[in-house]
Amino acid sequence: MTRIFSGVKPTGHLTLGNYLGAIRRWADEDQHRAESLFCVVDLHALTVDHDPARVRRLTRQAAGLLLAAGLDPQVCTVFVQSHVDEHARLSYVMECVATDGEMRRMIQYKEKTARAQAAGQGVRLSLLTYPALMAADILAYGADEVPVGDDQTQHVELTRTLAERFNQRYGHTFVVPRATPPAVAARVMDLQDPTGKMGKSHDATAGIIYLLDEPATITKKVMRAVTDSGTGGVEYDRAERPGVANLLDILAACTGKEPQTLADDYDSYGALKRDTAEAVVELLRPLQARHAEFSADPSYVDGVLRDGAAAARALARPTVDAAYRAIGLLPPA
């Protein structure tokens, strides 16, 4: 059976980008067709400036949101990365397989480094080695598929390279995974800066729809979205009209229609924005209601995470042990 692994990083409140680009598909399709593991990758949240209490809070909140989005612990495994030691164990091995140059070429490393340096902050070493940990996350479980948004495909490509290299040098140990980006909404853009992705760790929040935003807030953010100055109605043109194209992509992802077809239905930005706002509010309504229920009973989420970690550990352990043996480490007597 196909195995799937994917994750979210608790560096901020989850966004519409996370949902449309990844989580919705995990819940609606992936968990039902494959053996699936979904992880809140808290170790990754320590690669940038962080507040310990906030990371802890966001980790539990992200887990609650995954369940609220429809991940069913009866059919898939939901857990927290730091609860399973195998991730850190294998990450070190992947650091011994990757090169410094490969890590430095990662777009996210370059972007985040530039941002940290502009703010006069140091860059944590773990930001550089981030893709080794991400490769470990995926390879520890022998995942065939990794459903992610566009921004993560480069990391999954590197994971493939590392798996192939390890297998060639030390004997077949890892399944070589592939990224499976969604057909629509692979890159939801910021509503205020539609040339950049909607990212949960950004400081400016007016262009970001959070999954737990109130309906009125969602509506306000969509109505204030930057549109383009082009004349002549609503057109779907990502290069020339990125703001409008982003709204059309979001509405398409909410309604299941094609963005191009939707463009033909509108002759004003105002109407497009109103319908997009309404579609997002309706899309998130059930998720928000379920999240409120889980928040009232945190012990449910904690129980799911405890069982999830046990199941994940049992799967990862043999693969990571095999990788340790293959690379030359003496097994304990």
CB of 296 vs ligand TYM, minimal distance in Å: 26
Which residue's CB is nearer to ligand TYM, number 178 or number 257?
Answer: 178
> Which of 42, 31, 324, 311 minimizes the C-alpha distance to 174?
324
Q: Residue 233 CB, nearest distance to ligand TYM (Å)?
A: 26
CB 6 within 8 A of CB 26: yes
Catalytic residues: 112, 197, 200
Given a contact cutoff of 8 angstroms between Cβ atoms, the answer to whether 130 and 104 are in contact is: no
* Residue type, position 132, single letter: A
- Tokens 């309404």 label which residue? 278
Beta bridge partners of 197: 189
Q: Which residue is nearest to ligand TYM (CB)?
A: 21
Extract the annotated binding site. 9-11, 17-18, 137, 149-151, 188, 197-201
| Nearest-approach distance from CB 332 to ligand TYM, in angstroms | 28
Length of the chain in terms of residues written: 333
Task: Find out whether 262 and 275 touch, Cβ atoms under 8 Å.
Answer: no
Question: Which residue, 41 or 127, has its beta carbon nearer to ligand TYM?
Answer: 41
How near is the Cβ of 304 to ligand TYM at its closest, in Å? Answer: 19
Q: Which residue, 44 or 273, has its beta carbon nearer to ligand TYM?
A: 44
Q: Are 69 and 24 in contact (CB under 8 A)?
A: yes
Judged by beta carbon, residue 197 or residue 221, the one nearer ligand TYM is 197
Q: Give the chain's largest Cα–Cα span.
A: 75
AA letter at 48: V
How far apart (Å, rounded) are the C-alpha atoms in residues 229 and 291? 39
What is the rounded CA–CA span in Å between residue 188 and residue 191? 9
Give residues in contact with ligand TYM (CB under 6 A).
5-9, 17-18, 21-22, 41, 44, 134, 137-138, 146, 148-149, 151-152, 155, 185-188, 197-199
